[in-house]
């Protein structure tokens, strides 16, 4: 996985989170690799990528973190992970990926996005890319805020 695909997602996630959280401190944790078949923390916004590359970006967080972020973005304390909270987390994923893809287009990479799909539940697992048996590693970038931790999970491969 080429680093030039990853950096725009990491940089944009950092910048957008800082902005939507009212300038709150955002710290980057240590990067690590995981196989793409992996459990998620509770709430995951998934955006697919297709074109010169294929893959997906996953924004993974606990229900508590999702509620905290949605509450901050809506300027009201949300008590349950309802339709408003879900729409807010989907919009956060949209903001980040749209800006990252714009940056990648400027670098000459061409691909499209799927709208964010939001998954919420206990003991869920996101499977390998494209239903293939080939396991593609995902780069995980933890972003830690006072509202909780979001893991930006990027699994991209160039089309053969």
Q: Which domain holds residue 129?
A: 3-158
Distances (CA, A) of 114 to 20, 61, 111, 151: 22, 20, 10, 19
Overall domain count for the chain: 1
How many residues in total does the chain contain? 160
Residues in Cβ contact with 105 at an 8 Å cutoff, skipping those fewer than 6 apart: none
pLDDT tens by residue, 90-137:
999 999 999 998 998 898 888 888 888 999 988 887 765 555 545 567
Please tell me the pTM assigned to this model. Answer: 0.88
pLDDT tens by residue, 5-58:
788 999 999 999 999 999 999 999 998 887 766 678 899 999 988 887 788 899
Instruction: Annotate 58-88 with b (16+ C-beta within 10 A) or e (fewer).
Output: bbbbebebbbbbbbbbeeeebeebeeebbeb
Report the CATH number at residue 69: 3.40.1550.10
């Amino acid at each position: 996985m080429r680093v030039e695909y990853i950096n725009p997602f990491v940089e944009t996630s950092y910048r957008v989170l800082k902005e939507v959280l009212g300038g709150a401190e955002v710290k980057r944790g240590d990067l690590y690799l995981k196989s793409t078949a992996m459990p998620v923390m509770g709430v995951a916004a998934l955006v697919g990528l297709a074109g010169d590359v294929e893959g997906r970006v996953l924004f993974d967080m606990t229900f508590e973190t999702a509620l905290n972020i949605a509450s901050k973005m809506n300027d009201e304390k949300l008590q349950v992970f309802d339709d408003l909270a879900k729409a807010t987390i989907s919009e956060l994923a949209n903001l980040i990926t749209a800006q990252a893809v714009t940056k990648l287009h400027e670098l000459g990479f061409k691909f499209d996005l799927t709208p964010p799909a939001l998954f919420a539940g206990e003991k869920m697992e996101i499977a390998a890319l494209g239903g293939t048996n080939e396991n593609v590693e995902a780069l995980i970038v933890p972003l830690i805020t006072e509202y909780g931790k979001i893991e930006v999970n990027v699994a991209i491969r160039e089309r053969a």
